[in-house]
Amino acid sequence: MSPARHRVRRSDVKRLFGALWAVGGMLVVLVFAATSSIPIYPFAFLPRGKRERYTIWGARYFAWGCLHPVLFIRDQIIGRENLPQEGGYLVVSNHRSWLDVALLILHTRSQGVSKKEVAWIPFFGLNGWLSGAIFFDRRSKDGRGRVVSDTLELLAGGANVHVFPEGTRTRDGRLSSKAHLRLVQAAAQADRVVVPCCTWGTERGVPASGIYAMPFQSMGLQIGEPMRRAPEEAAEAFAERVWAQVTTMARARGADAPFSAEP
């Protein structure tokens, strides 16, 4: 058998294994979503912005389940000591895989901004909404406006929110040339702390496209030092400074390089 033919067959086996693991993993993930939601249902009566200090623990348990019992990842967390002791901060990160969301929920105690379709996934949506996720219609101008007001409400109540200024996962591994920094600007104007972060290697566990999951992969999260707008600094300039810090950390970790051609 020629080396090239051997490589093709090995790649096909790897794809099949990844697809089967993804399907099986989704069943286990649903179990974690259900069991992590039940303990936080009683807090539904508390107003948004207040309940998240209790319900985020259910979301963190769910994120832990996705990362460890399902994918058995090996994660490296750098800068955990940089997280503010008090809640109400905005986390800003690059975006390489759906696993970025789980890493940020688990290790930065933050929920994120997501497209509205996710809200209708059984257990996922309700768990997310109760623990501080913000669902919106990307095509609606009013919906995008409510993201800002909802984020500021959550931050004022002591909840933490994360955002991916690239808007969606990178499809080729490179950082997007355009970053949407409206939320960062709003946080700066509200005098909120912003925490720059970067993820790397998450695409090895769950890539940007296809039904595929690969267990036992190494990945990481770096939590940068908290940032606050300086006196007289324009909110736009501050937001650019935050994103520059994210990109600097990402490039240092190899998170601005093309994805491998291997599955």
pLDDT tens figures, 21-76: 888 888 888 888 888 888 899 999 999 988 999 999 999 999 999 999 999 999 99
Any domain includes 32:
yes
CA 131 to chain centre: 14
Q: How many CA atoms lie within 13 A of 151 on its CB side?
A: 32
Is residue 47 within 8 A of residue 77, CB to CB? The reply is: no
**H-helix or E-strand spanning residue 79:** none
Any domain includes 259:
no
Predicted confidence (pLDDT) per residue in 209-218, tens digit: 777 899 999 9
Q: Domain count for the chain, please give it.
A: 1
- pLDDT of the residue at 4: 52
The CATH number that applies at residue 161 is 3.40.1130
Does the structure show a pLDDT above 70 at 207? Answer: yes
Predicted structure pTM score: 0.91
Q: How far is CA 229 from CA 91, 164, 192, in A?
A: 14, 19, 8
Which pLDDT band holds residue 138 (cuts at 50, 70, 90)? confident
- pLDDT of the residue at 2: 52
Any domain includes 261:
no
**Percentage, residues of the chain above pLDDT 70:** 96
**Residue 47: Cβ within 10 Å count:** 8
**H-helix or E-strand spanning residue 123:** none
Domain containing 49 equals: 3-252
Q: 177 exposed, middle or buried (CB, 10 Å; 0-12, 13-18, 19+)?
A: exposed
Block residue for tokens 């051609």 = 261
**H-helix or E-strand spanning residue 192:** none
221/201 Cα distance (integer angstroms): 9
Is residue 225 within 8 A of residue 197, CB to CB? The reply is: no
Q: List, in sequence order, every residue forming a beta bridge with 92; answer none if it has no partner.
A: 163, 196
Any domain includes 152:
yes
- Sign of CA pseudo-dihedral 26, 28, 33, 34: positive
Any domain includes 258:
no
- pLDDT of the residue at 14: 82
Tell me the pLDDT of the chain averaged across its residues.
90
Q: CA-based Rg of the chain, rounded to a whole angstrom?
A: 19
- pLDDT of the residue at 28: 87
